[in-house]
Chains A and B, each alone.
Chain A
Amino acid sequence: MSAELSLEELDICKQVEVLAFDQAGCRMMQKKLEEKYADKSDSGVFAAALVHCMLDILPDVMTNQFGNYLCQKLIEVAPIPSLKQLVQVCLSSVVEVSMDLHGTRAI
């Protein structure tokens, strides 16, 4: 998977646990995801890699005031297998996140 990621994207994935809770970081990642999604020749590997790196922190990101926007964007552009992974890790906290002010939007 990493063979297709640029160095910059690899860097983002490594730092995602910090960036996902930061306003500028979230904006930057959303913009990148949008650009990639608009490019028809893109394989969606960046979105898939991001989901993979965030699996452990997804419920926390969803309830974050900035992170919930990133999650909404990811859900919009990520390939189906990544969405399945995402649902699986969020399943046990879906009720709790639904009742959260920010989480409700991501769910």
Chain B
Amino acid sequence: MLGRNPGALHHEILAIGAEMSQYIFDLSTHPNGNHVIQAFLLTFKASDTPEQGDRPGAEAFAAYTQFIFAACMAYCDQIGSDKHGCCVMQRCLEKGLLVQKLALADVIVRRIHVLIEDPFGNYLVQNVLKLKNDLRNDQILNFIAGDFLRLS
């Protein structure tokens, strides 16, 4: 519905986002709720894959998805190491605006010592690598190099 006519339903989309924003953690880690959050990201996507740049005009979608990114950054460890939550965060890294993706990547890199060995969180580190951002990749490689044998 939201994708049908974002202009005419602008206020409704923001209202739904505002209503959900306090519950992003619960929704993202819920077996049914996580699909609604993923639908938000897919409907208002700025790109398809992590390494892609923003589509023209996608900046307008930032207002519709920023509340999801904010929650993912605030609860990075908990959402990232959850079976469903990690799918939501992978969608974030694929579909968000470049600024949103890089901001989330920074948080993931900061929490790499927790996420890299997590059965679900490790996918997020792999997705940050797919952003192909030199600075973030250097930080990840440095961390891995410091503990290479044990991690291998």
Contacts and interface: CB of A to CB of B under 8 A. Distances in A.
Interface of A: 75-76, 80, 83-84, 87-88, 91-92, 94-95, 98-101, 103-104, 107
A100 B47 CA distance: 29
Interface residues of B, number: 18
Nearest to B24: A95
A71 B39 CA distance: 17
A98 B33 contact: yes
Given A98-B36, A101-B32, A104-B36, A84 B19 contact: no
Interface string B4-48: 010011001001100110010011001011011001000000000
B5 A80 contact: yes
Given A98-B27, A101-B32, A87 B20 contact: no
Nearest to A74: B1
B41 to A, nearest CB: 14
Q: Is the interface of B mostly helix, strand, loop or mixed?
A: helix
Contacts, number: 48
B9 A83 contact: yes
Interface centre among A83, A95, A101, by most chain B C-beta atoms within 10 angstroms, is A95
A80 to B, nearest CB: 5
Nearest to B39: A107
Nearest to A103: B32
A73 to B, nearest CB: 11
Given A104-B35, A107-B36, A95 B5 contact: no
Contacts of B27: 95, 98-99
A75 B1 contact: yes
B35 A91 contact: no
Nearest to B27: A98
Given A99-B32, A104-B35, A84 B12 contact: yes
Contact of A95 (B8, B19, B39): B19
Nearest to B5: A80
Given A80-B5, A91-B15, A95-B20, 8 more contacts: A80-B8, A87-B9, A88-B12, A91-B19, A94-B19, A95-B26, A99-B26, A104-B35
A28 to B, nearest CB: 22
Contacts of B12: 83-84, 87-88
